[in-house]
Amino acid sequence: MRRTRTRIAVVLAGTAALATAIGLASTAQAATTLGASAADKGRYFGTAVANYKLSDATYSGILDREFNMITPENEMKWDATEPNQGQFSYGSADAIVAHANAHGQRMRGHALAWYSQQPGWAQNMSGTALRNAMVNHITNVAGHYKGKIYAWDVVNEAFADGGSGGRRDSNLQRTGNDWIEVAFQTARAADPGAKLCYNDYNTDGINAKSTGVYNMVKDFKSRGVPIDCVGFQSHINSGSPLTSDYQANLQRFADLGVDVQITELDIAYSGTQQASAYATVTKACLAVSRCTGITVWGIRDSDSWRSSDNPLLFDGNGNKKAAYTSTLDALNGGSTSSPPPVSTSPSRSTSPSPSTSPSNPGGGQGCTATTSVNQWQGGFVVTVRVTAGSTINGWTVGLALPSGATVTNSWNVTRSGNNWSNVSYNGHVNAGQYTEFGFQGTGTAGTLTPTCSGS
Ligand code: XIL
């Protein structure tokens, strides 16, 4: 007994020394949720959410445990947000945004301009009147959510199916071919901080339709039309199967200088075929450095817009399916069911587990800030937690990054140099409570020493 214990201790000590010697953390743990695991890779994992389901405890329990990005399934569409011309209705979309803020989730906005789910009054419009109505709609909706949206699907599904590679006919298209760039320019003016995406389906492999979109994005980049990202819906089924050029297609768009995102993933295969297709899509995103995240189009199979296909990661009772496990394993770069290897990714150079550092030893009124850093080869995500000592109504965190580190995007915060301050919805923090913001960057974050001052 004693001899065995000693031997185990020696082996463990040897392993730890080896891990330290080669510069790897000995405490590396594979993350156990989709969101945390994606965050370890500098990405998000999201889902579509229907506001009326948030009161379902199973639904919101899974949502808040697994997902750190939310797309309203219908609540931000034109028919929902402007049911009568000039009369805006934000109640259910605002409720989703409030839920996201309360649970540290970010928002994808969906969708500002689309041929479908238009209110009746817009469906009946054409020409200049419709063009002006579209501009007014985008200005109001993107303006209402200014500072609260990570990325907007500015234009949805504007290309035709089939081999033409051209635009889909619609009332918006008939206002003139420039309607898409006008939509993007209008969205940029309304919310300069949001990433602006073009989003479509059947563009998930290299084909005539995706090449049409590719040529538009290339043209926009060459002429300075503001576009930041392309969304690939990825509604995969036997009629629209996963093809072997999925990753290459993401990569060719990324090479144009835009982010790519998988925006509405569902896979209508069953059993191991489904599990393996989810893993393939996940690995493809991880392999493309500008693929910033994956969103599935619903939580349980019963929540799906195509529920008879059972295309999602959780069954109707909220249990994890094989597709869930294969997705999580792919995010973790291997198996999560057995003890994790010392390093979860060959490119990772430092600890994948969050490291926290205390802050604000002496100064500041009413709050403290701590940071949690996920660093990988060439990039990082920092999450900053602001904890209130006494109740505060605003805060500023002082946080300098080492030279060579560049912030590429941030959320739940406004930044002015080394000062990071609250936005409208997260300034008020009750005594003892906390709020979080974050940012992503390139380079090395190093050891951060934040200060906090509350007001
Ligand atoms: C779907 C929703 O899931 C349904 O609830 C609604 O009835 C119709 O729209 N492409 C899109 C999404 O961009 O907005 C669609 O969502 C699915 C296809």
For ligand 1, atom 7, the nearest C-alpha belongs to 305
Q: What angle is formed at CA 108 by the lines to CA 326 and CA 36, rounded to 5 degrees?
A: 40
User: Is the Cβ–Cβ distance between 82 and 140 less than 8 Å?
Assistant: yes
For ligand 1, atom 12, the nearest C-alpha belongs to 73
User: Is the Cβ–Cβ distance between 367 and 429 less than 8 Å?
Assistant: yes
For ligand 1, what atom is nearest to the CA of residue 199?
Answer: 13
Is the pLDDT assigned to residue 265 strictly greater than 60? yes
To test ligand 1's pocket by mutation, which of 264, 300, 303, 307 has the most ligand atoms within 8 angstroms of CB? 264
Whole-model pTM: value is 0.72
Q: Of 172, 81, 147, 151, give the one whose Cα is nearest residue 109.
A: 151
Distance 157 CA to ligand 1 centre (A): 11
Give the up-direction half-sphere exposure of residue 93: CA atoms within 13 A in the CB hemisphere: 26
Between residues 380 and 119, the one the model is more confident about: 119
pLDDT given for residue 425 in this prediction? 65
Mean pLDDT of 258-282: 98
Distance 214 CA to ligand 1 centre (A): 23
For ligand 1, atom 9, the nearest C-alpha belongs to 74
Q: What is the pLDDT of residues 32-53, one digit of tens each?
A: 999 999 999 999 999 999 999 9
Which of 85-94, 111-120, 320-329, 427-436 is the least confident region? 427-436
Distance 76 CA to ligand 1 centre (A): 11
At residue 86, the 3 state secondary structure works out as: coil
Mean pLDDT of 269-293: 98
Contacts of 128 (CB under 8 A, 6+ apart): 175
Expressed in angstroms, the distance from the first to the final Cα of the chain is: 60
Mean pLDDT of 439-454: 89
Instruction: State the angle between helix axes of 208-223 and 246-254 in degrees (0 to 180), rounded to the nearest 10.
Output: 10
Catalytic residues: 157, 264
Q: Of 210, 108, 92, 209, give the one whose Cα is nearest residue 153.
A: 108
For ligand 1, what atom is nearest to the CA of residue 298?
Answer: 3
Contacts of 416 (CB under 8 A, 6+ apart): none
Tokens of 365: 């009124």
For ligand 1, atom 4, the nearest C-alpha belongs to 305
Q: What is the pLDDT of residues 144-191, one digit of tens each?
A: 999 999 999 999 999 999 999 999 999 999 999 999 999 999 999 999
Distance 112 CA to ligand 1 centre (A): 13
For ligand 1, atom 15, the nearest C-alpha belongs to 73
What percent of the chain shows pLDDT beyond 90? 75
Q: If you search the block for the tokens 């579209």, which residue do you land on? A: 134
Give the up-direction half-sphere exposure of residue 261: CA atoms within 13 A in the CB hemisphere: 31
At 354, which amino acid appears?
P
To test ligand 1's pocket by mutation, which of 305, 308, 309, 312 has the most ligand atoms within 8 angstroms of CB? 305
Strands 195-200 and 451-454: unpaired
Exposure string of 120-155, with b = 16+ CB inside 10 Å and e = fewer, is eebbebeeeebbebbbebbbbbbebbeebbbbbbbb
Query: What is the rounded distance in angstroms from the CA atom of residue 434 to the CA atom of residue 439?
Result: 17
Sheet holding 395-398, edge to edge: 414-416, 419-421, 395-398, 451-454
270 backbone dihedrals φ, ψ, rounded to 5°: -120, 165
For ligand 1, atom 5, the nearest C-alpha belongs to 305
Query: What is the rounded distance in angstroms from the CA atom of residue 275 to the CA atom of residue 279?
Result: 6
Q: Of 28, 16, 18, 17, give the one whose Cα is nearest residue 374.
A: 28
Give the up-direction half-sphere exposure of residue 193: CA atoms within 13 A in the CB hemisphere: 17
Distance 305 CA to ligand 1 centre (A): 7
Strands 151-156 and 106-114: parallel
User: Is the Cβ–Cβ distance between 422 and 413 less than 8 Å?
Assistant: yes
Q: What angle is formed at CA 288 by the lines to CA 246 and CA 338, rounded to 5 degrees?
A: 90
Mean pLDDT of 294-313: 98
Mean pLDDT of the chain: 88
> Where residue 442 falls among pLDDT bands split at 50, 70, 90?
confident
Ligand 1 binding site (Cβ under 6 Å of any ligand atom): 73-74, 156, 233, 264, 305
Q: Of 231, 200, 195, give the one whose Cα is nearest residue 106.
A: 195
Distance 306 CA to ligand 1 centre (A): 10
pLDDT given for residue 15 in this prediction? 46
